[in-house]
Amino acid sequence: MRLAVLGAGSVGTSVVNLASEYGHEVVALADSSSATVDPTGIDIEAVLERKAGDDPVGDREPDAAFDADYDVLVEATPTTLGDAEPGFTHAKRALEADRHVVLANKGPVAERYEEIQALAADSAGSIRFEATVGGAIPVLSTIEDCTPNAVSAVRGVLNGTANFILTRMAAEGLDYEHVLTEAQDLGVAEADPTFDVDGTDAALKFVILANVLNDGGFSLEDADVDGIQNIPGSALELAAEDGRTIRLIGEASRESVRVGPRLVPEHGALAVTGTQNIVEIETRHAGSLASSGRGAGGPETATAVLSDVGRLPEL
Amino acid sequence: MRLAVLGAGSVGTSVVNLASEYGHEVVALADSSSATVDPTGIDIEAVLERKAGDDPVGDREPDAAFDADYDVLVEATPTTLGDAEPGFTHAKRALEADRHVVLANKGPVAERYEEIQALAADSAGSIRFEATVGGAIPVLSTIEDCTPNAVSAVRGVLNGTANFILTRMAAEGLDYEHVLTEAQDLGVAEADPTFDVDGTDAALKFVILANVLNDGGFSLEDADVDGIQNIPGSALELAAEDGRTIRLIGEASRESVRVGPRLVPEHGALAVTGTQNIVEIETRHAGSLASSGRGAGGPETATAVLSDVGRLPEL
């Protein structure tokens, strides 16, 4: 398939880097300021060098990406809340042109799910979004294969930054502020870590899951969200005395979406360590399925994007 | 899709039972002695009642199933080794008639992989076999989505009977013979448990995985296999003193297939308990993905069969 990639951050550049390994070609790459377009496939090495040197990715306007002859639009621009723009309109344009859309951007499917699905229903193209939930872990494809009807709930740890912080607090007896600084130094937490530590990032993912289970009906404001910023080190010590620890756990069911710190058995499945993520899918006929792995990262998220591309039908 | 189901054991009857929930119709069901065929869909309730009462499933010869107008042949007859018959020929007939095949029977893809794939290549139909490895756990579809090239190895626990026995031996300090009897009483081990306890069942699954990773090249005789029959209770006690336990672990890589008892950290991912299974997939770009859940059982295996049906293209 021929890919037009929007977004040249770590996910976008990883998709460009790995596309040929999966048998696909990149015909356009755009960020917010420029685009490069080549129907025979963009010069990947040159583009990655320009990006590494902080040069523009190309010499065209960003919009030129939509003029390329592409099969799949990969939307990997930063997630935005509320109206989910410009990501929503990017996806809309591709679907209205009867092209496929693969999202790494959570906005359209967290905040405007029914609208984007309606556009997909009217399009010869389809929309897929494995990369929006759990990075490399195959969560949405597993639910799709089970059929969403057969899944009653999904729970787990879907934010690696918060999980890393809680793991280190428990392991070292340090307080939140101290470990947050450590996480930022390691690149595990952003300069502005708000969405990771206040539970918003995890909540977006569980909202997407609730939308998949219920065919819509949820947006971020429907989620009941608590973060980890107010957990004292003493809470983790107390938990440990009882054979437990604390993790930022989310749950999506047919009724609700909730994210918050919870006590979990310290050796149980949900007590993943470091930046690992885990998802437990409750199925009607096959009990509980658990999948864990790397929930974030450029190459990891790119593999989810490229898995989705592989599942799209020929146009 | 219209399904012709061969095999009326726990997997076959579960497929028949769940098919309509997944939007499919059963037009034929056969076991080794009879068949029932109905182009408008077999009377599922009546058939399950006859089976429960040990009556023949139908009034036709078993072969009549092949005369039905079906899209997918579900091969759920008992796994056989060596020539993998009659399962292999069942699959061959469907593929030569340009129909799809979904296997729950491990024989054809463990023992004659290249042959069955060659038949599939020449057919308008495809062959899928998620149900042959890990029951409800989506192992093969995960590897397929990653692309087999991007997977370097797969390891894990794929036999619930052996895992249950080892879990109970460790928990109760009992010896193998005692726990085996308990397992048989619970229906977790068969009257003849040989293939579960000598590692053959697990080995067949890891041989199938090696065939998927390497596009063929392996059969059961290539696997290096040790079972659990000779593990004394004292070995588990010793392991526990060191924070470890013993599990029957298999591994398939690009070079080899091995199954045998191994020491694992007692709280680690591979130390699944009871009849649970777990698979760790080592990927090139996304680290390690782990999936666990129920690796066996009628309904569990049927969900894997029906997931496969859902992934087949229209004929």
For chain A, percent of residues with pLDDT exceeding 90:
91
CATH topology assigned to domain B2-135+298-311: Rossmann fold (3.40.50)
Instruction: Give the SS3 label for residue A288.
Output: strand
- Indicate whether B291 pLDDT > 90: yes
- Indicate whether B187 pLDDT > 90: no
Supply the pTM of this predicted model: 0.92
- Indicate whether B5 pLDDT > 90: yes
Chain B interface with A: residues with Cβ < 8 Å = 18, 21-22, 135-138, 141-142, 145-147, 149-150, 267, 269, 283, 285-294, 297, 299-300, 302-303, 307, 310-311
A232-273 pLDDT per residue, tens: 999 999 999 999 999 999 999 999 999 999 999 999 999 999
- Indicate whether B240 pLDDT > 90: yes
A8 annotated ligand-binding residue: yes
**pLDDT band at residue B147 using 50, 70 and 90 as cut-offs:** confident
- Indicate whether A85 pLDDT > 90: yes
- Indicate whether B241 pLDDT > 90: yes
**pLDDT band at residue B223 using 50, 70 and 90 as cut-offs:** very high
Which of B136, B286, B307 lies at the smallest CB-CB distance from A294? B286
- Residue A81, both tokens: 């809340």
B244-267 pLDDT per residue, tens: 999 999 999 999 999 999 999 999
Q: A92, A128, A155, A205: which one is catalytic?
A: A205
Chain A interface with B: residues with Cβ < 8 Å = 18, 21-22, 135-138, 141-142, 145-147, 149-150, 267, 269, 283, 285-294, 297, 299-300, 302-303, 307, 310-311
| Mean pLDDT, rounded, of chain A | 95
* B33 CB-contact burial (10 Å; exposed 0-12 / middle 13-18 / buried 19+): exposed
Domain span(s) for CATH 3.40.50.720 in chain B: 2-135+298-311
Which residue in A307, A308, A311 has the most chain B C-beta atoms within 10 A of its own C-beta, making it the best mutation to test that interface?
A307
A211-239 pLDDT per residue, tens: 999 999 999 999 999 999 999 999 999 99
B35-94 pLDDT per residue, tens: 999 999 999 999 989 988 889 999 999 999 999 999 999 999 999 999 999 999 999 999
**Lowest mean pLDDT, pick from A66-70, A117-121, B54-58:** B54-58
Domain span(s) for CATH 3.30.360.10 in chain B: 140-294
CATH number for B140-294 (one of 3.40.190.10, 3.40.50.300, 3.40.50.1220, 3.30.360.10): it is: 3.30.360.10
pLDDT recorded at residue A149: 85
